[in-house]
């Protein structure tokens, strides 16, 4: 059904080679593909390959990626990644999970994106926030850990479907089965979905949702602390002096 609904589903980060997709995927953390696609043209024009990016000044890279959020850490990651690619792999993006995960800023999800979408290698299943959410709603996995979810999906799916299935699930999560209010009325999976039309949808167990909740709590705590510090100190109560007793 997902294949019929999204026959052309692909990764939505603009790229022309593995290097570009790797950089874009690192930048996409805690951001959106749409935002990253507005940033990368200028970035790739100035740093067209790993060799160029490896020699870049962090301050110059930061200026180009500031809209991605957490731009200082991301600049550090993509420059470090490029330097490792140059020194360890002769400037070519490696083609194995182990080698990719050995690069700065690269974890299993990012490696799966690059291997599956830029190299045509079905090594695993991309598990992002959408795949995590929909795997729970569709009862494909009971886990919240991305690696465990990936293993569950790999056991269910034929290997040739590992990459396209993830793309289709991500597209469905972005367009129909959204986090706060899934559109069950227009969902082709509704007749087979155990969560369809539920009064309360299963809570999004993704690490990103947990991170966002912690950030909101931290901001509230900071605001409360600031408000408390601005309150004037309570005035001490003075004890009225008692008149001295007259001497007899």
Residues acting as catalytic residues: 109, 128
Residue 139 Ramachandran class (φ > 0 left, ψ -120 to 50 alpha, else beta): left
Terminal-residue alpha carbon distance, the chain: 106
Query: What residues contact 10, with CB distance under 8 A and at least 6 apart?
Result: 117, 167
49 CB burial (10 A radius; 0-12, 13-18, 19+) = middle
User: Which residues, including other chains, have CB under 8 Å from residue 235's CB and lie 6 or more apart?
Assistant: none
Q: Which of 154, 122, 116 is nearest to 135 (CA)?
A: 154
CA 226 to chain centre: 30
Question: Which candidate, 48, 61, 53, 62, places its Cα nearest to that of 16?
Answer: 48
Distance (Å) of CA 90 to CA 49, 50, 155 = 12, 9, 35
Judge whether 78 and 70 are in contact, CB under 8 Å: no
Residue 114's φ and ψ, nearest 5 degrees, are -70, -45
Which of the 8 DSSP states describes residue 192?
G
């Amino acid at each position: 059904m997902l294949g019929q609904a999204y026959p052309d589903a692909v990764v939505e980060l603009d790229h022309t080679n593995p290097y570009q997709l790797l950089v874009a995927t690192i930048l996409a953390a805690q951001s959106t593909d749409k935002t990253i696609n507005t940033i990368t043209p200028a970035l790739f024009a100035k740093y067209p390959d790993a060799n160029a990016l490896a020699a870049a000044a962090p301050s110059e890279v930061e200026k180009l990626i500031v809209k991605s959020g957490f731009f200082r850490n991301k600049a550090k990651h993509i420059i470090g990644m490029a330097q490792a690619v140059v020194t360890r792999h002769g400037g070519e993006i490696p083609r194995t999970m182990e080698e990719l995960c050995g690069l700065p800023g690269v974890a299993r999800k990012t490696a799966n994106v690059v291997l599956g979408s830029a190299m045509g290698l079905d090594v695993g299943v991309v598990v992002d926030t959408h795949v995590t959410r929909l795997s729970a709603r569709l009862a494909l996995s009971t886990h919240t850990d991305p690696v465990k979810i990936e293993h569950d999906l790999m056991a269910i799916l034929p290997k040739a479907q590992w990459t396209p299935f993830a793309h289709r699930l991500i597209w469905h999560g972005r367009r129909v089965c959204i986090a706060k209010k899934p559109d069950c009325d227009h969902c082709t999976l509704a007749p087979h979905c155990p969560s369809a039309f539920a009064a309360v949808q299963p809570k999004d167990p993704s690490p990103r949702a947990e991170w966002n909740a912690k950030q909101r709590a931290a901001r509230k705590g900071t605001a409360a602390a600031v408000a408390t510090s601005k309150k004037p100190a309570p005035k001490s109560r003075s004890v009225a002096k008692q008149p001295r007793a007259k001497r007899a």
